[in-house]
Structure 1
Amino acid sequence: MTERTSLLDREVGKAMSTLSAAAKKGLGDPGLAELVVIRASQLNHCAFCLDLHLAIARKHGVSEKQLDLLSAWEEAGDDVYDDRERAALALTEAVTVLTDGFVPDGVYEQAARRFDNGRLAHLIGLIVAINNWNRVMVSRRVPPGGYQT
C-alpha cells in the first residue's frame, strides 16, 4: 500500500495532511469538499486523487449525477449544482488554473457572497491543499488504488 506521506519528507507530509484535514473540517460540508477536490484533481489529471476522492464522495452521499457531470458543471442545470456549489467550483478552477493570471474578481466575489469569511478561508485552503497533493502524486507517478477510505 502506498502511503501518501511517505512520498514526502515526514514533516512536510504531516503538514500537508494537517492542512487538508483542517480545511475540510472548517468548510463544514464534506460533500462539497469532495466536489472541490475532485474538480481540482480532474484539472490536474491526478488519477490517484480522483480514484480516492470519488470513493470518499460516494461515502458522503454525493450523487452519481453530480459526480458524472462534474467536468461540465457550468453546463449542468441548477437542479444538479446549487449556487454555493457553483461558486466553490468556479473558485476551484480559478485557483487551480492560474495560467491566465489572478483569480478573477467576479469569481472571488461570487464565492465571498456564498461563504462567510471563515468558510471562504477554509475553501481556499482546501483548494491549495488538493493542488499540492495532486502535484506530488502526479510528479511521483503514483497510480490509482493502494489506499483505504
Structure 2
Amino acid sequence: MANVEDVTQRIQISATLPAAYKGLVALHDTIEKAAADAGLDQSLFELVKIRASQLNGCAFCLDMHSRDALKLGETAQRVVMVATWWETELYTEKERAAFALTDAVTKLSEHQEVPDQVYEQATAVFTEEQYSAVIWAIAVINAFNRLGVTSKKLLPKEPW
C-alpha cells in the first residue's frame, strides 16, 4: 500500500461540479428529515453510513460518520464493531435489519438482488416509510462513497 504522499492527487469531483454535489447533499437532507419524521433515530443512519463506507473502502466517509456517530452518543465499541455486526449482540433488531439491507444493496454487483430473507427481516421491523428512508440512505451514502473513493478525498488533519 502506498503512502498518502505517494498517491496521485485526484480531481475533487464535489468541488468541480458544486451544483451536483449540493443536489446530493439536499437529497441527503431530505432523506434524513423523512427518516426523523418516520420515527427513525439519527444514530441508526450514522451506523448505516459507517457500514456502507466500510464495504466501499471510503476512508473519508468512514472517518466522518464514525465521528458523527460518537457525537450522537454511540460508543466506540459499537462504532468499531459495525465491521462484524452479525457476530455480536450489540445491535438492536432494527439496526441488524438495516445492516443486512446495507450489505445487500451495497453489494448488488455481487448478488444482483436483495434476498427475500433480508427484505422480510427489514419489513418486519420497519414501517413502509422507514424502510424507504433506509433504502434511500443506503443509496445516497453509496453515491457519496463513490465520489470520495474516486477523488481519494483526504482525511481531516485533526485527530478524533
For 2:124 and 2:13, the matched residues in 1 are separated by 35
For 1:107 and 1:142, the matched residues in 2 are separated by 32
Decide which of 64, 87, 96 is 2:106's aligned counterpart. 96
The answer on whether the counterparts of 1:37 and 1:127 sit within 8 Å (CA) in structure 2 is: yes
Which segments of 5 or more consecutive residues in structure 2 lack a partner in the other structure? Answer: 1-11
Which segments of 5 or more consecutive residues in structure 1 lack a partner in the other structure? Answer: none
Q: Which amino acid aligns with 1:95?
A: V
Residue equivalent to 2:97: 87
Q: Which amino acid aligns with 2:117?
A: G
Decide which of 31, 50, 64 is 1:38's aligned counterpart. 50
Per-residue CA deviations over 1:32-63 (Å, capped at 9, x if unaligned) read 00000000000000000011111110111112
For 1:56 and 1:4, the matched residues in 2 are separated by 23
Q: How does 1:103-142 map to 2 (within 5 A)?
A: 103-142=114-153
Q: Give the number of the structure with larger relative contact order, counting CA–CA contacts within 8 Å between residues 6 or more apart.
A: 1
For 1:83 and 1:107, the matched residues in 2 are separated by 12
Residue equivalent to 2:8: none
The answer on whether the counterparts of 1:95 and 1:127 sit within 8 Å (CA) in structure 2 is: yes
What TM-score, normalized by structure 1, do the two folds share?
Answer: 0.89
Percent identical pairs in the alignment equals 39
Residue equivalent to 1:5: 14
The Cα RMSD (Å) is 1.7
Higher deviation after alignment, 103-112 or 31-40? 103-112
Matched residue of 1:73: which SS?
A: helix
For 2:133 and 2:14, the matched residues in 1 are separated by 21
Higher deviation after alignment, 14-23 or 46-55? 14-23
Aligned length: 142
Bigger radius of gyration: 2
The answer on whether the counterparts of 1:19 and 1:126 sit within 8 Å (CA) in structure 2 is: no
